[in-house]
A and B are shown apart, each in its own frame.
Chain A
Amino acid sequence: MDDNKILELLSQKEEQALREIENKYGVKLRRLALHFLGNEADAEECVNDVYFKAWNAVRKPESLSAWLMQICRYTAFGMIDRRTAQKRNAVLVELTAEMEQCIPDSSVQAEESELSGMLNAFLGTLPKEKRIMFVRRYWYGDSIAEIAEFFHCREGKIRTGLFRTRKKLEKFLKERGVSYERKEFAELHDGN
């Protein structure tokens, strides 16, 4: 079913909307949730929460797919925040550590909302291929192997590409005065 039609059904509180969303996006949403949460039970809980939030949302988006994925990511990260350090998914630990490399040492703090704007601006400067690699890694949480498979190239090329893009992001943020609150690695995963 066409996304516009699904949105229309959703706004009319028709249950068929949720069945259509499950049929069309269920697999992708579970996959995204699983990347960050690491187990199927939590991923299932996350996706159910997504449907609940989509049903109750007041404003409906222009892009159904991206909207659902964003809700899913928010929900997954919220579940992660409520977990103890022992239950942190190794993928998230790895991604967080990689993103640490992008944050320069300077003297001005930035709010997350402000950071989103900067990230959008940064992503707009990238060639399409590099942007997709970056988004697949740090938005979708894909492994290096998954990204390499899609691009039909060696994992080394993906790692190199991401490394260079992280360096560019670091420079981009530094030029905009974003700072880094240095913490020990262990502290980062205590939710502090």
Chain B
Amino acid sequence: MNGKNLLNSMTEINPEYITEAEFPEVRMQQKKHKTMIRVISAVAAAAVMGVTAGAVSEVFNHRETVESFLSGDSREKLEEQELVSNYTTENEHFRMTMETILNDGFQLYMIATLEPLDEDAQNFLETYGVFGVDSEFHDTDTGELLERHGSAGFHTENGRNLMEFKFGFENLQSQSAEMTFSLRERDYPGQSYLMEGLTVPVDFISNLEVLEFQNEDGESVWLSPFEMYSHTQDCMTTQINRIYLVKNNGFSTEINDDFELSGLSTTGGASALHGEIAGEPYSYTTFDKIINIADYKAIEFKDMNSGEVRTYSLKSE
């Protein structure tokens, strides 16, 4: 028996399953009126799925989770830009909702809500509150392990755990992967089963615009809606530099004043995050809110010791 036999055997499945999976006739027509067809198709898809049309929507399932990590009007921006995922995965213990998956080609940034479904999971959240979760990424087609990362379940609020993931990737040869989660036995003895089977599909295709800014030496800094990054190790270190984003109208904002930076203190005393990816140095600074990158025309780094200002201007195409 081989794959061909199995494919042949599919012919005799229950006719109800064949009918259930029929696509509505509207999809057979030419797409002359794309918007209308999209609306009709969305309604039809909702009808097939047995959900109320309009529930095929673009608002976060848990707006409060997104708002706990991203300030200002970030949540609204993400909804307007259709960067809502709401992908749900569950086992008998937890339901995880991946609220959003942002990919600027440098890092993945994800926000999730973890809800307990049974007493074991509830007890775990009450006991640990903040905990470390390991993630693995397996190639969708081959199952090959691509990456392994650690991250934290950030805090537990109203019985749910709110999670934030940020990952840079070394080699993105694959287009898509399955993300799975695990609890380390040594840290949470006897609890590792709780997150088994939770999986989230992740595309490695960028879904965000990024702008490149360059200085007169040809060095670049990239600005995305949730971070800025460069391929030098000390660029983002606020012990060395004050960093200003210069708007198109000429007004500039010091990042430390307006944005809270991931990994940095508000006094700028800590180092920005840096390291190596695929043998190349990098440093990055993530923001606590989503910005409109089109508002900015330059980035300035002012050396705190020498006072020298290096300006990175928007690179023209």
A: residues with CB less than 8 A from B are: 27-28, 31, 61-63, 65-67, 69-70, 73-74, 77, 92, 95-103, 109-110, 112-113, 115-116, 119-120, 123-124, 128-129, 131-132, 135-136, 138-140, 149-152, 154-157, 159-161, 163-164, 178-181, 183, 188
A123's contact among B13, B28, B176, by CB below 8 Å, is which?
B13
CB of A159 within 8 A of CB of B21, answer no
Known contacts A119-B13, A131-B21, A139-B13, then 10 further A-B pairs from the complex at CB < 8 Å, ordered by chain A residue: A63-B19, A69-B18, A77-B11, A95-B7, A99-B7, A128-B50, A132-B20, A132-B48, A178-B1, A188-B2
Q: Supply 23 A–B pairs (Cβ within 8 Å), ascending by A.
A: A62-B15, A63-B16, A67-B15, A96-B2, A98-B3, A100-B2, A101-B3, A103-B6, A129-B49, A150-B23, A150-B41, A150-B45, A152-B56, A154-B176, A154-B205, A156-B201, A156-B205, A159-B141, A160-B199, A163-B140, A179-B1, A188-B2, A188-B3
Complex CA–CA separation, A119 to B14 (angstroms): 9
CB of B176 within 8 A of CB of A156, answer yes
Measured CB to CB, the closest approach of chain A to B97, in angstroms, equals: 15
A156's contact among B8, B27, B202, by CB below 8 Å, is which?
B202
Residues of B within 8 A of A28 (CB): 22, 28
B251 at the A interface (CB under 8 A): no
Measured CB to CB, the closest approach of chain A to B41, in angstroms, equals: 7
CB of A160 within 8 A of CB of B13, answer no
Complex CA–CA separation, A146 to B175 (angstroms): 18
Measured CB to CB, the closest approach of chain A to B3, in angstroms, equals: 4
- Closest residue of chain B to A62 (Cβ to Cβ) is B15
Complex CA–CA separation, A110 to B1 (angstroms): 7
B42 at the A interface (CB under 8 A): yes
Per the 8 Å Cβ criterion, residues 192-238 of B in contact with A are: 199, 201-203, 205
Given contacts A70-B12, A123-B13, A156-B176, contact A188 B18 (CB under 8 A): no
B1's contact among A95, A109, A135, by CB below 8 Å, is which?
A109
Across the A-B interface, the 6 shortest Cβ-Cβ residue pairs = A156-B176, A66-B15, A160-B201, A100-B3, A116-B12, A115-B9
B87 at the A interface (CB under 8 A): yes
Measured CB to CB, the closest approach of chain B to A85, in angstroms, equals: 12
A interface: dominant SS: helix
CB of B15 within 8 A of CB of A96, answer no
Measured CB to CB, the closest approach of chain A to B9, in angstroms, equals: 4
Residues of A within 8 A of B45 (CB): 150-152
Per the 8 Å Cβ criterion, residues 20-47 of B in contact with A are: 20-23, 27-28, 41-42, 45
B: residues with CB less than 8 A from A are: 1-23, 27-28, 41-42, 45, 48-50, 56, 87, 140-141, 143, 175-178, 199, 201-203, 205
Measured CB to CB, the closest approach of chain A to B246, in angstroms, equals: 35
Complex CA–CA separation, A149 to B296 (angstroms): 35
Measured CB to CB, the closest approach of chain B to A53, in angstroms, equals: 13
Complex CA–CA separation, A115 to B11 (angstroms): 11
- Closest residue of chain B to A187 (Cβ to Cβ) is B2
Specify which of B14, B28, B41, B141 lies most central, judged by the most chain A CB atoms within 10 Å of its CB. Answer: B14
Measured CB to CB, the closest approach of chain B to A92, in angstroms, equals: 8
Complex CA–CA separation, A149 to B143 (angstroms): 24
Given contacts A160-B140, A188-B3, contact A128 B49 (CB under 8 A): yes
Residues of A within 8 A of B22 (CB): 28, 65
Complex CA–CA separation, A36 to B178 (angstroms): 29
Complex CA–CA separation, A128 to B5 (angstroms): 24
Complex CA–CA separation, A164 to B197 (angstroms): 11
A66's contact among B7, B19, B41, B87, by CB below 8 Å, is which?
B19
CB of A135 within 8 A of CB of B140, answer no
A135's contact among B20, B176, B205, by CB below 8 Å, is which?
B20
Measured CB to CB, the closest approach of chain A to B294, in angstroms, equals: 24
B3's contact among A97, A135, A140, by CB below 8 Å, is which?
A97
Measured CB to CB, the closest approach of chain B to A125, in angstroms, equals: 12
Residues of B within 8 A of A92 (CB): 7
CB of A132 within 8 A of CB of B21, answer yes
Complex CA–CA separation, A100 to B291 (angstroms): 47
Given contacts A151-B45, A152-B41, A164-B199, contact A112 B2 (CB under 8 A): no
CB of B7 within 8 A of CB of A181, answer no
Specify which of B8, B41, B143, B205 lies most central, judged by the most chain A CB atoms within 10 Å of its CB. Answer: B8
Complex CA–CA separation, A187 to B306 (angstroms): 72
- Closest residue of chain B to A124 (Cβ to Cβ) is B14
Measured CB to CB, the closest approach of chain A to B96, in angstroms, equals: 15
Complex CA–CA separation, A128 to B21 (angstroms): 9
Complex CA–CA separation, A84 to B141 (angstroms): 28
